[in-house]
Structures are given as C-alpha cells and as structure tokens.
Amino acid sequence: GIQVEQSPPDLILQEGANSTLRCNFSDSVNNLQWFHQNPWGQLINLFYIPSGTKQNGRLSATTVATERYSLLYISSSQTTDSGVYFCAGVYSGGGADGLTFGKGTHLIIQP
Amino acid sequence: NAGVTQTPKFRVLKTGQSMTLLCAQDMNHEYMYWYRQDPGMGLRLIHYSVGEGTTAKGEVPDGYNVSRLKKQNFLLGLESAAPSQTSVYFCASRPGLAVTDTQYFGPGTRLTVL
C-alpha cells in the first residue's frame, strides 16, 4: 500500500498566524482528502482535492499529483482551528480500497 | 438525512466478552468501511464492503468480523475482546467507485477493553 507522511507532527501558533501543513505520498493516489479532527474526536471533511487548488474561507489546499504532495494552508488562525489535521488518499490502483491516513499534524492555536 | 451514524458511542468490555458495533447510512452508498484509530495515529482500515452481502479485509482485520446483510448497515463484531482492541472505531461510507467519490465518516465509537 501507499505511505503517507505528514509534516510537521506538531505546531503551536499564536492566534492570527498563518500555517502550512504538508502531506507527501509514496505513490499515485486518488480521492485525496484533508480532515480536521476536533478536540471531541469528530472527523470533519475539509477538502476533497485530488489535484489543483481549492479554497474555503480561511482554509485552502493545493495538490500537485505529479509530485505526490498536498498542502493545507490556514490563514488568520483562530483557537477553534486547534486539533489534528489528517490527509488521506486511496492508492490509484486500489479500486474500492479504504483511505490510507497519515499520522496527522497536531495544531494548537494559543489565544 | 442523518448521514453516517454509529451505535453505541461508548462501551467498556471485559477481556473475552463479545460485542457488535452498528454503522448505518441513509445516503444509499454502495461502499462502507470500518477503521480504528489508536492514540497518536491516523485511522487504519479494518474491513470494508463494496455492496450488500460482500465484505473484504483491510490492513488490520485480525480479531474482527463484519457483515453487510442490508445495504444501509455495516456491522463490526468482536468475538473475544482483547485489551489491544481498545480504540476509537470509525465507520465511513462512499457513493461508488468514481474517482470523485469522497468518504463520509460517522462520529466514532470509543471502546475500552479491560
């Protein structure tokens, strides 16, 4: 299966700061998604982004499929952005296979 | 439209006990998945189903069984629970095999095995 590496593993920022989270894949993937897991454990879909760039408010994501990486940008951070951010994808030759997740980036936004 | 729901939300078992986790989706999705999440880790796939009556093994299937008797439900069973199965379990569903299909996740079940 594919390997998914996320960096940095931990990030502590002050409210209002910007951040970039990175996700690298070992092989070609489909169905690339970014998730936010809030402090209560709920997984929230942020982006479905197999290629290109998408924006949703203060969050945006870019995937460069040919180079096997994706970036998540968070601008003007708020304390509610705290939690763990996961990227995940399905190996492009895997058919109905489930998502392979990275270990996540643990983000703490301090007031 | 409730999306993906999981029952129960929390459960404590003793070693050797059995239980079944229920996942239900009302979106008429073909594919359903069970994952587990351990501390400091991302989710790992246990089993999945590509349609009613079908199941397949994922990355960490040992100690679990699944069934998909109805399209909307996917059951995860632990026949003889072990402390190593203490985890948070997430269910997900996906419309089909189109490359644009995203997975939708339930709220999770927190299981502790003593």
A21: exposed, middle or buried (C-beta count within 10 Å: 0-12, 13-18, 19+)? buried
pLDDT of residue B38 exceeding 90, the answer is yes
CA dihedral sign of residues A30, A105, A36, B21: positive
Total domain count for chain B? Answer: 1
Nearest to A43 among B44, B97, B105 (CB): B105
The C-alpha atoms of residue A3 and residue A91 are separated, in whole angstroms, by 9
Residues B40-54 have a mean pLDDT of 91
φ, ψ for residue A99, nearest 5 deg: -70, 145
The C-alpha atoms of residue A76 and residue B37 are separated, in whole angstroms, by 30
Q: Measured between beta carbons, which residues in chain B are less than 8 angstroms from residue A4?
A: 42
Does the CB of A42 have a partner CB in chain B at under 8 Å?
yes
Pinpoint the alpha helices (H) of chain B. Answer: none
Residue B113 lies inside a defined structural domain of this protein: no
Q: What is the pLDDT of residue A102?
A: 93
User: Token match 């189109």: residue?
Assistant: B98
Residue B10 lies inside a defined structural domain of this protein: yes
Residues B23-43 have a mean pLDDT of 93
Fold for A4-110, please state it. Answer: Immunoglobulin-like (2.60.40)
- Tokens, residue A72: 């998540």
Q: For residue B44, give the CATH number of its domain.
A: 2.60.40.10
Nearest to B42 among A41, A97, A104 (CB): A104
Cα-atom radius of gyration of chain B, to the nearest Å?
13
The C-alpha atoms of residue A61 and residue B67 are separated, in whole angstroms, by 36
A and B: number of Cβ contacts within 8 A: 64
Q: What pLDDT digit, counting tens, does each position of B70-104 carry?
A: 999 999 999 999 999 999 999 999 887 765 677 89
Residue B111 lies inside a defined structural domain of this protein: no
Residue B57 lies inside a defined structural domain of this protein: yes
Residue B23's domain spans which residues?
4-104
Looking at residue B101, the DSSP 8-state letter turns out to be P
Q: Which of B34, B15, B38, B14 lies closest to B25, judged by CA?
A: B34
Tabulate helix, strand, coil % of chain B (nearest 5). 5, 50, 50
| Terminal-residue alpha carbon distance, chain B | 36
Nearest to B48 among A1, A33, A98 (CB): A98
Q: Measured between beta carbons, which residues in chain A are less than 8 angstroms from residue B87?
A: none
Which mean pLDDT values do the consecutive 10-residue runs of chain A (111 residues) have? 91 97 86 90 90 96 93 97 93 72 95 94
A98–B33 C-beta distance less than 8 A? yes
The C-alpha atoms of residue B61 and residue B45 are separated, in whole angstroms, by 8
Q: What is the pLDDT of residue B90?
A: 97
